[in-house]
Chains A and B, each alone.
Chain A
Amino acid sequence: QKEVEQDPGPLSVPEGAIVSLNCTYSNSAFQYFMWYRQYSRKGPELLMYTYSSGNKEDGRFTAQVDKSSKYISLFIRDSQPSDSATYLCAMARMDSSYKLIFGSGTRLLVRP
């Protein structure tokens, strides 16, 4: 079993839709949770960073962490064609190595 599971998609939605992206994980030692956006042939860009369970909002993006269920989500409101990209969840343990473990990424396409 992979430590982090993420549906690869692709996920296709119309412009303006609310997008929900999700990851599940198996290791309860993960304490830091991140969402990255990656455009084709570019390095990943950090979108959201959360430490504890609950919600964190930044503009049109909301990150949600449920440690009891080992489930994290990223919501995108009023989705735009420019949001079309691959979204990767990542998580880390707070130990000496601080190793990021990535999900496989979900390809999102927002249709005009």
Chain B
Amino acid sequence: GAVVSQHPSRVICKSGTSVKIECRSLDFQATTMFWYRQFPKQSLMLMATSNEGSKATYEQGVEKDKFLINHASLTLSTLTVTSAHPEDSSFYICSAARRTPNTEAFFGQGTRLTVV
């Protein structure tokens, strides 16, 4: 399958600071990238969808000013958690989708964010 690289895999930050997470599709151009959040033993919750060069579309209940998404190219999307609080601690996963040869989505390895 295609490769999606997510960095960092683990980050600890202080309350009030911002954290940037990168998601790169290494061997294909991703028409769409998705950001998910996952709490322990729960499924993935879609936070936002982004298309290259366009503003991200946020799911209901997700604060767009807190979770800034930039999709600058067909291979890179970033999620910035601004003014992080302990309740933002979670597992964040990105996904990159392609249309050819098949319409498929591949996931990064996830980022474990801990806000202290």
Contact = CB atoms under 8 A, between A and B. Distances in A.
Interface in A50-100: 51, 88, 90, 92, 94, 97-100
Interface of B is mostly: strand
A7 interface: no
B43 interface: yes
Interface residues of B, number: 28
B105 A100 contact: yes
Contacts of B107: 36, 43-46
Interface string B40-80: 01111010010000000100000000000000000000000
A46 to B, nearest CB: 5
Given A88-B44, A102-B43, A104-B42, A46 B49 contact: no
Interface of B: 1, 4, 6, 31-32, 34, 41-44, 46, 49, 57, 91, 93, 95, 97, 99, 102-110, 112
